[in-house]
Amino acid sequence: MVGIVIVSHSQKIAEGAVDLASQMAPDAKLVAAGGMEDGGIGTDINKIMAAIESVYSKDGVVILVDLGSAVMSSEMAIEMLPENENIKIIDAPIIESSIFGAVESAIGASMERMLEVFEEVKAYKKF
């Protein structure tokens, strides 16, 4: 099962995305890595590393990010991990991607299929 990590500058946003997606796909491996260790706004490499490790498998991990420095922190976290193959940072909306990704992951979608879904989410129209 492909794991999903939500990296946001806000702990509440990351946890909210995980909570919402978990309602749709309770069996998905989904974890929040938001905010700093002290609860402040920002991104924390150690939190991101721990989150990746908690959902890592040979199937891979996708990381959904909110802003540019979340990308940089995620890249640094990946580089520091001993097991860092098949980990992808995704450029797609966090909420929609976490929901659609969690559902796909829970039904056993491959990393390739997950990447297709995230591309589709970029064009998703709400109405």
Active-site annotation holder among 3, 4, 6, 9: 9
Q: What is the pLDDT of residues 50-85, one digit of tens each?
A: 999 999 999 999 999 999 899 999 999 999 999 889
Mean pLDDT of the chain: 96
pLDDT tens per residue across span 116-125 = 999 999 998 8
| Percentage of the residues of the chain whose pLDDT score is greater than 70 | 100
pLDDT given for residue 84 in this prediction: 86
Longest CA–CA span in the chain (Å) reads 44
Domains (range + CATH), the chain: 3-122 (3.40.50.510)
The token duo for 89 is 């940072």
Q: Judge whether 51 and 8 are in contact, CB under 8 Å.
A: no
Q: Is 12 a catalytic residue?
A: no
